[in-house]
Structures are given as C-alpha cells and as structure tokens.
C-alpha cells in the first residue's frame, strides 16, 4: 500500500471539493492508517516566505541570500485543509535535520521542524524548496476510494516538477507527464 509515497496526485476536473480544484499533491505518506500529502501548486495570495519568517521571528541578516542567486523569499503555499497553521517544507536533499526531516523520494525531502526555516532565514537552507501551511489528509482507505472513483490521477514526482515548474503550470505539466491533454478531460466521471 506504500506504493503511492513520493507520487503526485492530480485532481480531476470533477473534484467536488473546491480546495482541491486543479491541485497537484505530493504524497508523503500512504498506509493502512491513511495518507498525507502537500499541495504544491497553490500559493497563498498574501503570504511570502519573508513575511512568514518575520512572523516567526526568524529574520535573517539584512542581506541574507539563499544558496541560489535570488534572495531567500518566495511564495508560501496552501498545503491542504488540515492543520493550516502547521508548516511543511518540501526541499532538495542538500539540507537534512535528523529530528525533523524525512527522505520521501529521490531528491525530495520533507521537513517539519522550524529549524529548516531558521536555516533558510540565515541563507543556509536547501537550494530548492516549497514552503506550505497545512496538509491534505485522508483516513484509512479514503484516498484509495477517491482514486477508484476517478477523483485523482497518479504521476511520478521529480524534483524538477516540484521545484522548477511554475505553480500555475504544474497541473497541466503533471497531466502531460502521463500523456493526458487537459482539454480532453471531462468535468464528469463515470464507470464503464
């Protein structure tokens, strides 16, 4: 049953929950106890990483820069409707904290401790990341039922898809990865 860990869930147009409309979810856990993932393509409109770090009193040096060329900033994503005040960071494996990081897939780590954000504020965090508040959660067999009912498609996750693709293009790109043209998808599902 753990075969979906590290995969992308792509919401079908018929998804009845508007919070998941056109969502791409990176699945971090999947077992007989349920599933957990982080939506990776829905930035929150009024929250940036700099604002979040400031709110958490994790301001870095005035000229703190990340490992890349851009200053340490970027969007904070709506990770899902569960525990929306809790932070999750999906990131490259160049940062790892033994107490709060979990290697989920090749090139993709999930960190839940504030330490990753503190390191990002100091310009010492991972070179690639998605910061999210909240997560998507499913009870036992719930996700499997939603997949069988046609609510989700499944695709492989690659670091380039998560970290280098624009948020607005991730849904279409994820569908294209599995050979699906979004223009041909119907908003209705059925059973043959």
DSSP notation for 66-87: -SSSSBS--EEEE--SEEEEEE
Residue 119 forms part of a structural domain:
yes
* Gap between the Cα atoms of 72 and 58, Å rounded: 12
In a domain, 56, yes or no: yes
pLDDT at 133: 97
Task: Determine the pLDDT at residue 187.
Answer: 56
Predicted pLDDT of residue 23: 97
**Residue 191 belongs to some domain of the structure:** no
Residue 38 lies inside a defined structural domain of this protein = yes
Question: DSSP strand E in the chain: where?
Answer: 7-11, 24-31, 34-39, 43-48, 75-78, 82-91, 101-105, 108-111, 129-138, 152-156
Whole-angstrom Cα distance, residue 90 to residue 37?
A: 10
pLDDT for 71 equals 46
pLDDT (0 to 100) of residue 45: 94
Q: What is the pLDDT of residue 9?
A: 97
- Please list the pLDDT of the chain residue by residue as tens digits (192 residues): 558 999 999 999 988 899 999 999 999 999 999 999 999 999 999 999 989 988 888 765 444 444 444 446 789 999 999 999 999 999 999 999 888 899 999 999 999 989 999 888 888 889 999 999 999 999 999 999 999 999 999 999 999 999 999 999 999 999 999 999 888 876 554 444
Q: Please give the pLDDT value at position 109.
A: 97
For residue 86, being part of any structural domain is answered with yes
For position 191, what pLDDT does the model report? Answer: 46
**What is the distance in angstroms between the CA of the first residue and the CA of the last residue of the chain?**
25
Computed on alpha carbons and rounded to an integer, the radius of gyration of the chain in Å comes to 17
Q: Would you say residue 190 lies in a domain?
A: no
Residue 165's domain comprises 2-184
Residue 192 lies in a domain: no
Cβ atoms 1, 151 nearer than 8 A: no
Residue 124's pLDDT is: 86
Position 162 in a domain? yes
Q: For residue 128, what is the domain's CATH number? A: 3.40.1740.10
The total number of structural domains in the chain stands at 1
């Amino acid at each position: 049953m753990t075969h979906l860990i590290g995969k992308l869930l792509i919401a079908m147009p018929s998804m009845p929950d508007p919070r998941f409309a056109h969502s791409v979810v990176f699945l971090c856990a999947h077992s007989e106890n349920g599933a957990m993932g982080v939506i990776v393509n829905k930035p929150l409109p009024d929250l940036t990483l700099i604002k979040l770090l400031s709110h958490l009193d994790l301001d870095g040096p005035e000229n703190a820069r990340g490992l890349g060329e851009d200053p340490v900033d970027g969007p904070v994503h709506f990770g899902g409707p569960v525990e929306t005040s809790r932070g999750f960071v999906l990131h490259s494996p160049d940062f790892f904290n033994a107490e709060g990081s979990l290697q989920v897939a090749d090139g993709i780590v999930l960190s839940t401790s504030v330490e990753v954000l503190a390191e990002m504020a100091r310009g010492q965090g991972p070179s690639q990341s998605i910061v999210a508040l909240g997560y998507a959660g499913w009870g036992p067999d719930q996700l499997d039922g939603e997949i069988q009912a046609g609510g989700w498609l499944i695709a492989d996750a690659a670091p380039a898809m998560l970290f280098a693709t624009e948020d607005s293009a991730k849904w279409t790109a994820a569908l294209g990865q599995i050979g699906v043209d979004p223009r041909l998808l119907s908003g209705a599902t059925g059973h043959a």
